[in-house]
Amino acid sequence: MMSRHLVGRLLAGLLTVVVTAGAAGCGADDAALPDYQVPADPPRPVGMRDPAVVPSSAPNASESCNPRASLRPSGALPPPRQMPPRTAMARIVQRGRLVVGVDQNSYQFGFRDPLTGELTGFDIDIAREIARSLFGDPDKIQFRAISSADRIKVVKDGTVDMVVRTMTMNCERWREVSFSTEYFTAGQRILVTRSSGIESIAQLRGKKVCAADGSTSIRNIAEAGTIPVSVVNWTDCLVLLQQNQVVAVSTDDSILAGLAAQDPNTQVVGPRFSDEPYGIAIAKTSPELVRFVNAVLEKIRSDGTWTRLYNRWLRSLGPAPAPPKAQYRD
């Protein structure tokens, strides 16, 4: 419970904000407002690490694989609720709902609609298509909001049936979990304030740049010579940028587009400097579920659903491209 003292302080803080905003609204000249100064002891989002702990490359990380190649569907999709016995799909139908790990902090991919309180976005709708194929009902689904750093753990320990959360497929992760075929292609770029004058990652050498802990983005910005600062959620990066605690946020262009839409004072700049193919992560112990999900993805690529979902959520990224082509390893 919040102490009365703390509530009092919060209210006082709120009043100060309202009074200041009121004064600014009464004809004050915006241009005359002083630049925001970082306080000596700025508020730090829970879990922030400055500098970030940069994961070293796992042993054999250089071992080559094609991270886009997944398991081939084993035929046409079975009718909803009629799953082959003794499969992960049959167990999910028996349970009555699909359990999926998602983001609730990435606008346009996985976020909470403030009007309805519902989780929505491209990743959320992709997950609903899988529930639709299992149950004939996209609502037979339970979402678990997870951080970037928790994705592999919740798949491996069975907390969720799968993770649909802006997750890059790479050889290192393939050793821990299996992935579906690619359902979206992203690439890493940078987000800066419009007045920063920064146009490329090269200008960020020796400067603080924010990314989420457990993301591929952290290692990429460390390799580019920046000082990585890590947080739990992507929106925490936006707050750190707004407070001048970092000079940029860097991750997939898809996620940055959502942050830029939330703060028109920021913009995405520079070219892509990484390849981030998104896949749905599934436990290595359920290859039949990987094949089933790939059959669902085949269906939604070819029947126009993928394009409809892209146009529903991702128009800010430009016109819908063709869906990524499926690649198989068997």
What does each C-alpha distance from 105 to 28, 49, 123, 272, 315 come to in angstroms?
34, 19, 12, 22, 19
| Position among 167, 249, 268, 289 found at the interface with ligand GLU (CB under 6 A) | 167
Q: Which amino acid is at 240?
A: L
193-212 residues in contact with ligand GLU (CB under 6 A) are 212
259 forms part of the interface with ligand GLU (CB under 6 A): no
- Which part of the chain contacts ligand GLU (CB under 6 A), choosing from 17-25, 71-79, 135-143, 213-221? 213-221
| Position among 120, 178, 215, 226 found at the interface with ligand GLU (CB under 6 A) | 215
220 forms part of the interface with ligand GLU (CB under 6 A): no
Minimum CB distance to ligand GLU, residue 144 (Å): 15
251 forms part of the interface with ligand GLU (CB under 6 A): yes
Minimum CB distance to ligand GLU, residue 274 (Å): 9
131-150 residues in contact with ligand GLU (CB under 6 A) are 148
| Torsion sign (Cα): 282, 283, 284, 285 | negative
The three-class DSSP label of residue 134 is: helix
Nearest to 253 by CA among 239, 265, 269: 269
Q: Give the x/- contact pattern for ligand GLU in 273-312, rule: CB under 6 A.
A: ---x------------------------------------
108 forms part of the interface with ligand GLU (CB under 6 A): no
Who's near 168: CB < 8 A, 6+ residues apart?
A: 186, 216, 252, 276, 277, 278, 279
Q: Which two tokens stand for residue 119?
A: 């989780």
217 forms part of the interface with ligand GLU (CB under 6 A): yes
Q: Which two tokens stand for residue 203?
A: 């200008």
Minimum CB distance to ligand GLU, residue 217 (Å): 5
Nearer to ligand GLU, 89 or 100 (CB): 100
245 forms part of the interface with ligand GLU (CB under 6 A): no
Nearest to 68 by CA among 298, 280, 320: 280
250 forms part of the interface with ligand GLU (CB under 6 A): no
Beta bridge partners of 102: 145
Minimum CB distance to ligand GLU, residue 225 (Å): 20
In what helix (H) or strand (E) does residue 203 lie, and over which residues does it extend? none
236 forms part of the interface with ligand GLU (CB under 6 A): no
Nearest to 250 by CA among 284, 280, 212: 212
166 forms part of the interface with ligand GLU (CB under 6 A): yes
Strands 105-106 vs 110-112: parallel, antiparallel or unpaired: antiparallel
213 forms part of the interface with ligand GLU (CB under 6 A): no
- Which part of the chain contacts ligand GLU (CB under 6 A), choosing from 60-68, 133-141, 249-257, 303-311? 249-257
Residue 111 near residue 238, CB atoms below 8 Å: no
CB atoms within 10 A of CB 158: 11
Query: d(Cα 5, Cα 2) in Å, to the nearest integer?
Result: 8
Interface residues with ligand GLU (CB under 6 A) are 148, 166-168, 212, 215-217, 251-252, 255, 276
